[in-house]
Amino acid sequence: MYCARYVRLSSVPIDDIKVEGSDDFDYELVIKNGIAYVQFTHSGVPYEPRFAVSLSYRAKTKQPKMGSTYYITAICVRPDSMYNTLIEVTSYSEGKDLLGPLENNNDLYVANEIAWRELTSKDKYGYVQIKDSDGDGVITDEDVRVAFECLAKAKKGTDIVLVNQFDRIKYLLSYNESQNDPFEGNENKVWIGFPSNYGVEEICAYSSSVREMNLPNFKVLIANNEATIRMETDDSLQLTKNLDGSFVAWSCACARRSTRLNFASSILRTPIRAFDTIKIFNISEILKLGTFNVTYLDNENSVYLISEDLTPDSTLEQITEQQIYVTRYMRARLNSELPSTEYDSKSGAILLIQSKLISNLNTLIKEGKISKYLDENGAGREIDANKDIYVSVVEDNPTQFQFGYGFYTKKGIKHLFGSYVLDTEFNK
């Protein structure tokens, strides 16, 4: 600031001003006709400082008019509490608020968009956002491992998908294997999609390798690995995004969990609504995928439908669904009904546990969660405590009991093979 006997201020201060300089002088703030200036004096007479002077003050500048709308763009970081923890989402708008804004690299926002095109207002889903531990913008193997470790602690989630991280799929398989251990009590099914550059041969080879691992059969491979989705930004712009197969797998998992579909029903021919386009396969590719038990979507009359429903080891997805549900249900019911119950004799305790098992299984039958029990001719029958239930007391420990049970699963009609005759009755 140049030396002068006074300095005019650009705005009127709203409180005290601070004036600094190496000279010995006094100063006075003068405001006339809305104009503010500082006058310098020495011994009561105007004075021109010999060195630079610095002035600091606060003032009101231009302010928004009442009733006007103003916008601000800012970069903010989510708190650590939102990373590596399972967060449940109960509506589309809640997901947008939690995961926004819509950007090309925001995979979780896209996943929320997909979820609510498959789910209903009665449904919910959960997500875990992986924490970038060193803040360099690159997710590492260790980051993914820690995220799955946190998910395991939550003991929730029956259908798990790892989005856009196929090179870390080993952590998804490890989670699936460890959490399906009976001592973990966290039964789950994983849905696996493939990178866009995978061909049918590579997809089938992967299915074969998974089968050879001899891991639990609670996994579904989705072959379709290219899709597009059109979304609308908050300012009404249309954004089309190209997606790989992990997002298609996510949409299928959401369709399975939707209340539109009874949990014991087959996913076969379930419509997938989330995408504008999905890459489909020709007949020869479909036959090859079927040989390796890879599930795929097809297009019928402009509707994308799940057209296969097998896990890599040839188990119907519908059966794995019932296995998971029944195991969780029976554990929860028996844990609430039996521990701390006293008994007078081992045989009495065994009969009590048998009765609880039969009662709970009958409830599952009445609710349509599992099939009726069948005799050798395929006719319905009652549960037989001697054939379908096993209970025993652990030797040398009268407080521990072992039990087992069998149940019959529901299955859907899948293939029809017909023949016909001409000019006569068929039964001849």
Residue 62 belongs to some domain of the structure: no
Is the domain of 298 the same as that of 405? no
* Same domain as 147, residue 39: no
What confidence tier does 87 reach under pLDDT thresholds 50, 70, 90? Answer: very high
**In the listed set 318, 351, 377, which residue is the last one of a domain according to the structure?**
318
Cα distance between residue 259 and residue 118, in whole Å: 10
**93, part of any domain:** yes
pLDDT band at 95 (very low <50, low <70, confident <90, very high): very high
Residue 278 lies in a domain: yes
What average pLDDT score do residues 101-105 get?
83
pLDDT of residue 2: 43
Whether residue 99 is found in the same domain as residue 140: yes
Q: Which residues sit opposite 405 in a β-bridge?
A: 389
- Within-domain flag for 324: no
On whether both 212 and 271 belong to a single domain, the answer is yes
pLDDT score at 4: 61
pLDDT at 1: 41
In this structure, the answer to whether residues 21 and 142 fall within a common structural domain is: no
How high is the mean pLDDT of the chain?
Answer: 92
Tell me the residue range of the domain where 166 lies.
80-318
Query: Within this chain, do residues 52 and 98 fall inside the same structural domain, yes or no?
Result: no
* In a domain? residue 68: no
Segment (H or E) for 272: strand 271-272
pLDDT, average across residues 279-284: 97
What are the tokens at 60? Answer: 């009101």
CA 247 and chain centroid, separation: 11
Last residue of a domain, one of 56, 72, 88: 56
- Assign residue 261 a region: left if phi > 0, alpha if psi is -120 to 50, beta otherwise? beta
Answer yes or no: is pLDDT of 5 > 60: yes
Alpha-carbon separation of residue 210 from 106, 196, 224 (angstroms) = 29, 19, 18
Regarding whether 138 and 184 lie in a shared domain, the answer is: yes
Same domain for 141 and 37:
no
- β pairing state of 401-405 and 86-89: unpaired
Residue-wise pLDDT tens digits, 201-246: 999 999 999 888 766 679 999 999 999 999 988 778 889 999 999 9
- Does residue 367 carry a pLDDT above 60? yes
Q: CB burial class (10 A; 0-12, 13-18, 19+) of residue 288? A: middle
- Enter the pTM of the model: 0.81
Q: What CA–CA distance (Å, rounded) separates 156 from 24? A: 74
* Residue type for position 188: N
For 369-383, what is each residue's pLDDT tens digit? Answer: 999 999 999 999 999
DSSP string for 257-269: HSTTS-TTS--TT
Listed residues 318, 349, 373: the one ending a domain: 318
255 and 365 together in one domain: no
- Domains in the chain, number: 3
Contacts (Cβ under 8 Å, ≥6 apart) of 43 = none
Residue 115 exposed, middle or buried by CB count within 10 Å (0-12, 13-18, 19+): buried
| Cβ within 8 Å of residue 366, ≥6 positions away | none
The tokens of 291 are what? 């040989």
What percent of the residues of the chain are helix, what percent strand, and what percent coil, each to the nearest 5?
30, 20, 50
Pair 46, 86 in one domain: no
46 and 160, same domain (yes or no): no
**If DSSP codes are grouped into helix, strand and coil, which group holds residue 20?**
strand
In a domain, 64, yes or no: no
pLDDT tens column, 402-418: 999 999 999 988 889 99
CATH number of the CATH domain containing 270: 3.40.50
Q: Is the pLDDT of residue 76 over 90?
A: no
C-alpha span between 206 and 163 (Å, rounded): 18
pLDDT tens-place string over residues 153-196:
999 989 999 999 999 999 999 999 999 998 999 999 999 999 99
Mean pLDDT over residues 131-151, rounded? Answer: 95
Do 51 and 90 fall into the same domain?
no
| Rounded Cα gap, residues 298 and 45, in angstroms | 94
Q: Is residue 325 part of a domain?
A: no
Q: What is the DSSP letter of 138?
A: -
- Are residues 174 and 180 in contact, defined by beta-carbon separation less than 8 angstroms? no
Distance CA 113, CA 328 (A): 29
| 67 in any annotated domain | no
Residue 101: asked if its preceding bond is cis (omega within 30°), the reply is yes
Q: Is 228 helix (H, G, I), strand (E, B) or coil?
A: strand
